[in-house]
Amino acid sequence: MKRTLLFFTIVLLFAGEYITLDNGKVIELKPDGTWHEVKVIKKGSDTIVLKPDGTWEKVEAKKIEAANKLETAVDKKYKDEPLVKTLLGKWEGDGIFMEFEPSSAKIKIKKGHTNRVIEGKWIVENLDEKNKIVTVNIGEGARLGFLTFGGEIRKIKIKDNNTIVDKTDAIEGKVYTLYRKR
C-alpha cells in the first residue's frame, strides 16, 4: 500500500500541465519550469499525449486547457499610440524586410544564403516615448501572466515617419535601418 501511494505521489509531482496555444499547438508545462511541445491524438473516447522523447500518456480531455491570450489594458493603450501606429506598413532595409498590419506582422532577415522569417500576431511589450523606441513581440504563441511562449522580441527606434532602426542585435554589431516602402 505504501509503495502504491508513493508511486502515485511521484506521478502527481512529475505530471505536467497541458495547454493548447492560440496557434493550436499543445505544450506540456513541467514542474521544473521547462516546457516542450507535444502531440495530442484522440482514439475513440481516449485522449493520448505523445511526447518528444517517444513516451505517451493517457489524459482526460478536460486536462488539456486552452491558453487564453488576454489583451491587457496596457497593450490596448500602446496600440493606439501615434508612435506605435507609425510602424504600420511595409519597411525595407539592407537584408531586412518588415510588414506591420494592425493584428499581424512579418519580418524577413537575410542570414547568409537563407532568409529567417518571423511572423504572427504582434503586441507592444514596451514603449519609450522619450527615446522613440517601441519594443514588440512578434509571433507569440501564448501568454500566461508574465510568461510568454514563442515569439521574437524586436527593439525598434522610430527616426521619423519614413525611417525606423531595428536595434535588436546592436550588441552583435548589427543595426538595421529600414525605410517605408510605398
CATH 2.30.30 range(s) for the chain read 17-69
Residues of the chain with CATH 2.40.128: 82-180
CA distances from 177 to 62, 89, 92 (A): 48, 15, 8
pLDDT for res 9: 35
pLDDT the model gives residue 8: 35
pLDDT of residue 91: 97
Mean pLDDT in consecutive groups of 10 residues from the start of the chain, 182 residues: 39 58 76 84 82 86 61 60 93 94 91 88 89 89 58 92 93 91 88
Neighbours of 171 (CB within 10 A): 7
Nine cell digits for residue 12: 502527481
82-180 adopts what CATH topology?
Lipocalin (2.40.128)
Q: Do residues 121 and 106 lie in contact, with contact meaning Cβ atoms separated by under 8 Å?
A: no
Could you tell me the fold of the domain covering 17-69? Answer: SH3 type barrels. (2.30.30)
Q: Would you state the pLDDT for residue 162?
A: 96
